[in-house]
């Protein structure tokens, strides 16, 4: 039952139902109103015609009995009324006194009876006086109520000239004219109904052949398109709107087909690129494995050399250079271990790490380049130490990569780098740390902001960059359950927002 009601509701909501309803209303208005007006005029004219006929019949009756009335011959009047009743159109003729007594009648059985007691008496309007002429219709019979006045020629018998002496009641049925009227009326109604039905059927067929069938073709095309068929075409001949719509549909299918082809090509390129990255990762892991051994030898030799110099001359300035060599060699070893870890050859080594110390150490490593470029760099952080759970060397690499990128773009002697550390607390305990990194360089163009974290993407000139710096930064932060985003609100220079989980005492 519910499904049936739902189908009916959907049918009522359809364009076809609305259009057919509109056509029906328009046909009723366009055809029905003229037919209704014609019937109204026909009724009015027939009413006027009938009144004229009954009035004419009354005049004929009056003239027919006039001689008998002037001679005061009751027998002559009665005989004349009977003769008049022989006319097929005249049903009954009677003369009754103002108080109702029937004096003369073509039906002798009702003489001397009160006219108002008879069943076939026409109930004239009670508000109309006997002295007023009136017409009444009942079914196909018309009655004319005509007062008879005392005239001057009646003075030998009547002295009250002008008063009503009787009422002439003539009842007639105009069978032929009534049949013609009813036939004309029925023909008009039937003709109007037939015209409405024929036009409705023709318009419905026209809609089905010219609109609905073509809409079904277009809908079939959309149905095939929704199933992934990009070779479907809708063919509708002509220059009308639906033909134009079909042509637009075919062009849309062609555009979708072209876009699908380009998308497949793009996915294929992505797969090939991913395959190259996998191969590159495997090669990098092998290189890291090979570099790790020489780096270990350099580190051990540098430490031995440092110990020998300290034994001979503790104040030798070469010790500081050896310390830098040892630190950088350790960094090489840590980087190769990170690559090996990324290739699942080494375990991850995380610990409680001071965020401020990481940033300070990153600046110290790049201090020679910073001084050479004469760039000002500042750190704003809370008084208390902020800790995260992570790898010191990897997080150090994050800030080294960011600072190196800034140094490649900002102008020497005018460059400014600002690093601010903020924290988010809940119930007095830090939950997350935010590092706001900004410089006053040229900034990142809007069209590049979705690409800068992609591998091998770089805007540096003269092959200065490999396009891996920010890619590595993002991967390190993701491995530390953090993130890095570009601040879209910043219009001058580059501005990054780094988010890291605060250390909560648990690994």
Among the ranges given (8-17, 52-61, 305-314), the one the predictor scored with the smallest mean pLDDT: 8-17
pLDDT tens per residue across span 435-477: 999 998 888 888 888 888 877 677 776 555 566 778 888 888 8
> Is 76 part of a structural domain of the chain?
yes
Q: What share of the chain is helix, strand, coil (3-state, %, to 5)?
A: 55, 15, 25
What average pLDDT score do residues 409-415 get?
85
End residue of a domain, out of 149, 181, 213? 181
pLDDT for 346 equals 43
What CATH number corresponds to the domain at position 424? 3.30.565.10
pLDDT for 497 equals 92
Instruction: Report which of residues 307 and 347 the model is more confident about.
Output: 307
Residue 122: is its pLDDT beyond 90?
no
End residue of a domain, out of 159, 181, 203? 181
Q: What is the dihedral of CA 341, 347, 351, 354, to 10 degrees?
A: -10
CB count in 10 Å sphere of residue 453 = 17
> Is 322 part of a structural domain of the chain?
no
What does the DSSP 8-state code read for residue 212? I
pLDDT tens per residue across span 132-164: 777 777 777 778 888 887 776 665 666 667 678
What CATH number corresponds to the domain at position 62? 3.30.450.20
> Is 402 part of a structural domain of the chain?
yes
State the total domains in the chain: 2
pLDDT for 450 equals 80
What average pLDDT score do residues 228-251 get?
81
pLDDT for 94 equals 86
pLDDT for 507 equals 60
Q: How many helices (H) and strands (E) does the chain have?
A: 12, 12
pLDDT tens per residue across span 245-304: 888 888 888 888 888 888 888 888 877 777 676 666 666 766 766 677 677 778 777 888
How far is 358 from 480, CA to CA, in rounded Å?
14
pLDDT for 127 equals 41
> Is 113 part of a structural domain of the chain?
yes
Write out the two tokens for 255. 């555009």
Task: Return left, alpha or beta for 413; rule: phi > 0 is left, psi -120 to 50 is alpha, else beta.
Answer: left
How far is 428 from 488, CA to CA, in rounded Å?
30
pLDDT for 436 equals 92
Among the ranges given (111-120, 245-254, 332-341), the one the predictor scored with the smallest mean pLDDT: 332-341
> Is 243 part of a structural domain of the chain?
no
Which long-range CB contacts under 8 A does 10-16 form with residues at least 24 apart?
16/207, 16/212
Residue 405: is its pLDDT beyond 50?
yes
Among the ranges given (148-152, 227-231, 288-292, 426-430), the one the predictor scored with the smallest mean pLDDT: 426-430
Strand 387-390 vs strand 351-354: parallel, antiparallel, or unpaired? antiparallel
Residue 131 domain boundaries: 15-181
Among the ranges given (5-19, 34-48, 184-198, 416-430), the one the predictor scored with the smallest mean pLDDT: 5-19
Q: What is the dihedral of CA 245, 246, 251, 256, to 10 degrees?
A: 100
Give the length of the chain: 507
pLDDT tens per residue across span 356-385: 899 998 888 888 888 888 889 998 888 888
- Buried b / exposed e over 473-486, threshold 16 CB at 10 Å, is bbbbbebbebebeb
What average pLDDT score do residues 30-47 get?
81
Alpha carbon separation from 167 to 62, 115, 127, 180 (Å, rounded): 11, 11, 16, 31
pLDDT for 4 equals 60
- For tokens 């029905």, the residue is 32
Helix (H) or strand (E) holding 483: strand 483-486
How far is 234 from 244, CA to CA, in rounded Å?
11
Residue 430's pLDDT band, with cuts at 50, 70 and 90, is low
Among the ranges given (35-44, 48-57, 249-258), the one the predictor scored with the smallest mean pLDDT: 48-57
How far is 392 from 399, CA to CA, in rounded Å?
11
Q: Under DSSP, is residue 233 helix (H, G, I), strand (E, B) or coil?
A: coil
Task: Write the DSSP assignment of 6-41 as a string of letters.
Answer: HHHHHHHHSHHHHHHHHHHHHHIIIIIHHHHHHHHH
What average pLDDT score do residues 311-315 get?
75
What are the backbone dihedrals phi and psi of residue 234, each rounded to the nearest 5 degrees, phi first? -110, 120
Task: Write the DSSP assignment of 91-130 as a string of letters.
Answer: EEEEEE-TTSBEEEESSGGGTTSBGGGSTT-----TTS-T
Asked whether the beta carbons of 62 and 145 are under 8 A apart, the reply is: no
> Is 300 part of a structural domain of the chain?
no
Asked whether the beta carbons of 209 and 70 are under 8 A apart, the reply is: no
pLDDT for 345 equals 45
Residue 305: is its pLDDT beyond 70?
yes
Q: What is the mean pLDDT of the chain?
A: 78
Residue 493: is its pLDDT beyond 60?
yes
How far is 488 from 449, CA to CA, in rounded Å?
9
What are the backbone dihedrals phi and psi of residue 141, each rounded to the nearest 5 degrees, phi first? -105, 135
End residue of a domain, out of 165, 181, 197? 181
> Is 479 part of a structural domain of the chain?
yes
How far is 314 from 320, CA to CA, in rounded Å?
11
> Is 315 part of a structural domain of the chain?
no
């Amino acid at each position: 039952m519910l499904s049936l009601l739902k189908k009916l509701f959907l049918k009522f909501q359809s364009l076809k139902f609305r259009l057919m309803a509109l056509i029906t209303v328009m046909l009723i208005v366009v055809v029905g109103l003229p037919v209704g007006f014609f019937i109204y005029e026909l009724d009015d004219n027939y009413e006027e015609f009938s009144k004229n006929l009954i009035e004419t019949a009354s005049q004929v009756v009056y003239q027919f009995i006039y001689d008998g009335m002037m001679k005061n011959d009751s027998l002559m009047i009665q005989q004349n009324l009977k003769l008049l009743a022989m006319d097929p159109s005249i049903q009954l003729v009677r003369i009754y006194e103002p108080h109702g007594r029937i004096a003369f009648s073509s039906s002798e059985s009702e003489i001397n009876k009160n006219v108002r007691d008879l069943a076939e008496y026409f109930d004239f309007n009670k508000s109309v006086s006997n002295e007023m002429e009136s017409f009444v219709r009942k079914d196909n019979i018309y009655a004319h109520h005509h007062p008879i006045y005392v005239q001057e020629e009646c003075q030998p018998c009547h002295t009250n000239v002008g008063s009503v002496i009787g009422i002439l009641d003539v009842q007639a049925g105009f069978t032929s004219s009534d049949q013609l009227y009813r036939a004309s009326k029925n023909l008009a109604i039937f003709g109007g109904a037939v015209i409405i039905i024929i036009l409705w059927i023709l318009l419905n067929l026209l809609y089905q052949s010219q609109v609905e069938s073509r809409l079904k073709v277009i809908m079939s095309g959309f149905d095939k398109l929704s199933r992934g068929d990009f070779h479907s075409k809708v063919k509708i001949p002509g220059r009308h709107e639906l033909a134009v719509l079909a042509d637009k549909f075919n062009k849309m299918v062609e555009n979708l087909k072209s876009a699908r082809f380009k998308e497949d090509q793009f996915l294929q390129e992505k797969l090939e690129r991913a395959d190259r990255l996998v191969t590159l990762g495997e090669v990098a892991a092998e290189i890291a494995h090979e570099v790790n051994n020489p780096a270990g030898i350099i580190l051990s030799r540098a430490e031995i050399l440092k110990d020998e110099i300290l034994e001979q001359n503790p104040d030798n300035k070469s010790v500081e250079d050896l310390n830098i060599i040892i630190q950088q060699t350790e960094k090489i070893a840590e980087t190769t271990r990170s690559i090996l870890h990324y290739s699942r050859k080494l375990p991850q080594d995380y610990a409680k790490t001071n965020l401020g110390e990481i940033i300070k150490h990153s600046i110290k490593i790049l201090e020679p380049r910073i001084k050479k470029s004469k760039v000002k760099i500042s750190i704003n952080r809370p008084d208390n130490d902020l800790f995260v759970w992570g790898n010191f060397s990897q997080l150090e690499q994050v800030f080294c990569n960011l600072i190196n990128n800034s140094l490649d773009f900002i102008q020497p002697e005018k460059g400014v780098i600002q690093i601010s550390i903020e924290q988010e607390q809940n119930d007095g305990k830090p939950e997350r740390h935010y590092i706001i990194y900004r410089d006053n360089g040229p900034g990142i163009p809007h069209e590049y902001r979705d690409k800068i974290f992609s591998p091998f993407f770089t805007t540096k000139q003269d092959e200065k960059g490999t396009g891996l710096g920010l890619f590595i930064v993002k991967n390190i932060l993701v491995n530390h359950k953090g993130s890095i985003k570009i601040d879209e609100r910043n219009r001058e220079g580059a501005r990054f927002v780094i988010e890291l989980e605060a250390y909560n005492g648990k690994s």
